[in-house]
């Protein structure tokens, strides 16, 4: 019986042939526990016809981590055999101290963007006192800028403070003294995203 080995000298299975070929070893390896692999260790080069003959080497059992996933100290996934700061690991033998099989913690999820409430025209007008509403309506008769803002408010599908036109309209009402800065601040506060319960 002959055992085939790969380029690393690792046991690759029993040879189907009755004649020893290049890279074959006379006899088979000892029992191999899970998570390990048998490797033929020899000073004879693998392409030499003497390679694998009795007395030219011996089987050793080594840890096999070639299918495991490892991470470097910076949390990056390590690709077997690649260079990392002048070091490499092929997955055979003990795991070097500079690698870990513990995945880094998942990054914190990005906070959800704020969701500004949407107000119908009626809900928006309800943020104003009755006196403020009457003052705005009266001002629409003589101030084109207020009339335009009011008409757009009434025509809008919804109003949200996220739309910069809302801030512009409220500031215009302050500028013509239909709202005090304090009342504008109250209305703006009512239009901010609310904390989720």
Range of the domain at 129: 121-190
Question: Tens of pLDDT along 37-59?
Answer: 999 999 999 889 899 999 999 99
What are the backbone dihedrals phi and psi of residue 59, each rounded to the nearest 5 degrees, phi first? -80, 140
pLDDT by residue (tens digit) across 123-166?
999 999 999 999 999 999 999 989 998 999 999 999 999 999 99
- In angstroms, rounded to a whole number, what is the distance separating the alpha carbons of residues 145 and 139? 9
Number of domains making up the chain: 3
Q: Is the whole-model pTM more than 0.85?
A: no
Q: Examine residue 57 and state whether it is found in any structural domain, yes or no.
A: yes
In sequence order, what are the residues at sequence separation of 6 or more whose Cβ sits closer than 8 angstroms to the Cβ of residue 19?
A: 2
pLDDT tens digits, 54-71? 999 999 999 999 999 999
Whole-number percent of the chain with pLDDT over 90: 79
In a domain, 114, yes or no: no
Q: Does 172 fall in a domain?
A: yes
């Amino acid at each position: 019986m002959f055992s085939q080995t790969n380029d690393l000298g690792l046991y690759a299975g029993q040879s189907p042939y009755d004649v020893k070929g290049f890279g074959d070893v006379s006899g088979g390896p000892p029992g191999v526990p899970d998570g390990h692999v048998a490797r033929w260790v020899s000073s004879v080069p693998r392409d030499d016809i003497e390679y694998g003959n009795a007395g030219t080497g011996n089987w050793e059992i080594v840890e096999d981590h070639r299918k495991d996933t490892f991470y470097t100290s910076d949390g990056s996934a390590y690709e077997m055999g690649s260079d990392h700061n002048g070091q490499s690991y092929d997955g055979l033998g003990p795991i070097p101290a500079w690698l870990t099989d513990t995945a880094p913690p998942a990054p914190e999820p990005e906070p959800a963007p704020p969701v500004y409430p949407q107000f119908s025209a009626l809900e928006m007008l309800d943020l104003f006192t009755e006196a403020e509403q009457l003052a705005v309506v009266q001002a629409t008769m003589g101030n084109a800028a207020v009339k335009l803002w009011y008409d757009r408010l009434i025509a809008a599908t919804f109003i949200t403070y996220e739309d910069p036109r809302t801030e512009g309209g409220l500031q215009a009402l302050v500028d013509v003294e239909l709202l005090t800065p304090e009342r504008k601040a109250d209305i703006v506060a009512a239009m901010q995203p609310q904390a989720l319960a």
